[in-house]
Amino acid sequence: MFFNNPHKILEQCSLVYSFLDFVQIDTQSDPNSATTPSTQKQFDLQKLLEKKLEALGCVDIKLDDKAYLYATFPGNAPKAKVIGLMAHVDTAPDFCGTDVKPIVHNSYNGSPIILPEKDVVIDPSENEELEKCIRDSIITASGDTLLGADDKAGIAVILSALEILGNDDSISRPTLRIAFTPDEEIGRGALDFDVEGFGAYCAYTLDGGFAGEVNFETFSADKAEVTFTGVAVHPGFAKGKLVNALRYLGKFLDVLPNEESPESTEGRQGFFHPVNVKGNASEASAELILRDFDDDILAERGARLRQLASDIATSEPRLKTEVKITRQYRNMAGVLSEHPKVRDFLLQAVADAGIQPNDNPVRGGTDGSGLSAKGLPTPNIFAGGINFHGPREWISTRVMAQSVCTVLNLVQRWAEDGQ
Ligand SMILES: [Zn+2]
């Protein structure tokens, strides 16, 4: 039974009501916090979700002290593999996430959407997806906060899929493991995730953008710290003696290739990107992030960085240099290629929903990159939101419902597998 009618889905489940509820609960994470979760308020939503999962028929519900919520939705296809569905509860720290007042713009007519606060305008000329959403209901915030469709749309989509499955046992499904995680927006979502306890063959995050978007690839990422140590002398007596580390650090930053920076790359191109500098005449260092989709080219980037630093040092023998490179995360494509059905079933599920799949490499990391590296292959599925992390964030309820269709088609593919 394929699901390809989002309007019917909107009548069958509480998708929109749940979403409007969730976005009003402040769950912003905080990169400056050392605790897990980074903010206690993420528990506010988790406690509500704990109750919702129970009401939907989930068992083995567990909310741990780090704000990871796990549950099992029993299947009806005993030979099928256990499959995971995931979303994150936190919203981005980039913009205000407190007091979100969602607005539903019914039957969108194609003109610019003007939000009541701070003259914020969502302009169709800058949002090509809007013209594909004429007559849809569009949900926005009110102008002075983000909306939080990232990732409360993903949570609402998963719960709605469970609601529909729970009401119709004729839809075949594997046992589903559900997880709602904290702190994804600050890159910590996979850190304390219990892969073994989760016990799924693979999982899918519902954390992507517009209809059809699926992600099987992320950047591979390393961090580099380059330190120059000079010779500090009182400037009044420095002639022929001072070796100013700051000047050499400046030269080093200057020789980084401009054409390999984030601001001049796109698509599958990688980059060098200085993110922080500190120091004084005696010692100065820069922190950089290195990114590429190809692990070998990423390693080459590290080697080139070392070469650039040592070239600077060659010009001044009294200068010492040190380059430290640490691994951050790896492209999940490598792990996914060992499990072709994880990708194939998703592409089929999107097509079965009547949507053209749009397979985009992510120029960043996702929870899926961390989880795939920990042994749980985890691609990402669209949940509908656009303009994440800012006041112009918006979502079409029809596209959210198409995400529910995709999940329902996907679980049936896995249920049929091996029967
Ligand atoms: Zn997200």
Question: What distance in angstroms lies between residue 38's CA and the mean position of ligand 1's atoms?
Answer: 16
Q: What is the pLDDT of residue 2?
A: 94
- What DSSP element (H or E) covers 36? none
pLDDT (mean) for 335-351: 96
- Asked about 359 being catalytic, the answer comes back as no
pLDDT tens digits for 282-331?
999 999 999 999 999 999 999 999 999 999 999 899 999 999 999 988 89
Q: What is the pLDDT of residue 414?
A: 98
Query: Is 80 exceeded by the pLDDT of residue 205?
Result: yes
Beta bridge partners of 272: 290
Closest by CA to 67, choosing from 180, 218, 204, 220, is 180
Q: Return d(Cα 52, Cα 41) in angstroms, integer.
A: 18
Q: What is the pLDDT of residue 292?
A: 97
How would residue 240 be classed by pLDDT, with cut points 50, 70 and 90? very high
Closest by CA to 395, choosing from 118, 158, 151, is 151
pLDDT (mean) for 83-107: 96
Q: Name the catalytic one among 163, 183, 184, 185.
A: 184
pLDDT tens digits for 8-53?
999 999 999 999 999 999 999 999 999 999 999 999 999 999 999 9
How would residue 364 be classed by pLDDT, with cut points 50, 70 and 90? confident
pLDDT (mean) for 169-179: 97
Which structure tokens are listed for 356? 């053209």
Query: Is 90 exceeded by the pLDDT of residue 367?
Result: no
The angle formed by the CA atoms of residues 85, 381 and 349, to the nearest 5 degrees, is 90
- The percentage of the chain sitting over the pLDDT mark of 90, rounded to a whole number, equals 94
Question: What distance in angstroms lies between residue 260's CA and the mean position of ligand 1's atoms?
Answer: 26
pLDDT tens digits for 373-402?
899 999 999 999 999 999 999 999 999 999
Question: Which amino acid, residue 80?
Answer: A
- Asked about 367 being catalytic, the answer comes back as no
Question: What distance in angstroms lies between residue 89's CA and the mean position of ligand 1's atoms?
Answer: 9
Q: What is the pLDDT of residue 418?
A: 72
The angle formed by the CA atoms of residues 196, 214 and 48, to the nearest 5 degrees, is 55
Question: What distance in angstroms lies between residue 144's CA and the mean position of ligand 1's atoms?
Answer: 20
Q: Largest Cα–Cα distance of the chain, in whole Å?
A: 87
pTM metric for this prediction: 0.89
- What DSSP element (H or E) covers 259? none
- Mean pLDDT score of the chain: 96
Q: Name the catalytic one among 26, 90, 151, 367.
A: 90
Q: What is the pLDDT of residue 242?
A: 96
How would residue 365 be classed by pLDDT, with cut points 50, 70 and 90? confident
Q: What is the rounded radius of gyration, in angstroms, for the C-alpha atoms of the chain?
A: 24
pLDDT tens digits for 103-115?
999 999 999 999 9
- The percentage of the chain sitting over the pLDDT mark of 70, rounded to a whole number, equals 100
- The helix/strand/coil state of 202 is strand
Q: Return d(Cα 133, Cα 131) in angstroms, integer.
A: 5
Question: Are the beta carbons of 215 and 208 closer than 8 angstroms?
Answer: yes
Question: What distance in angstroms lies between residue 184's CA and the mean position of ligand 1's atoms?
Answer: 7
The angle formed by the CA atoms of residues 259, 265 and 266, to the nearest 5 degrees, is 165
